[in-house]
Amino acid sequence: MEEYTFLRAFADMWGLLAMFLFFIGVVVWVFLPSRREVHEESKTIPFRHEDAPAPDDGEDDSAEREEART
């Protein structure tokens, strides 16, 4: 029973520390300046079809889009 208690205490202490360090690492990775381009691209996704709405039923309506642009 002593081995179980030791392993449980070890997992509680070091497991929590490992998860916390992983969380901090992810947060730092997300906010790195080199990730700015990825975030800029992601935030404009809703506006990609601003000039003409995307087709609802999956059909190709490229001819209608050309007419809408002219």
pLDDT tens column, 14-70: 989 999 999 999 999 989 988 888 888 888 888 887 776 666 776 655 666 666 666
pLDDT in the model for residue 65: 60
pTM of the model: 0.51
pLDDT in the model for residue 17: 93
Question: How far is Cα 53 from Cα 51, in angstroms, rounded to an integer?
Answer: 7
What backbone torsions phi and psi does residue 40 show, to the nearest 5 degrees? Answer: -65, -40
- Asked whether the predicted pLDDT for residue 6 surpasses 90, the reply is no
Radius of gyration, alpha carbons of the chain: 25
- The domain ranges of the chain are 21-45
pLDDT in the model for residue 63: 61
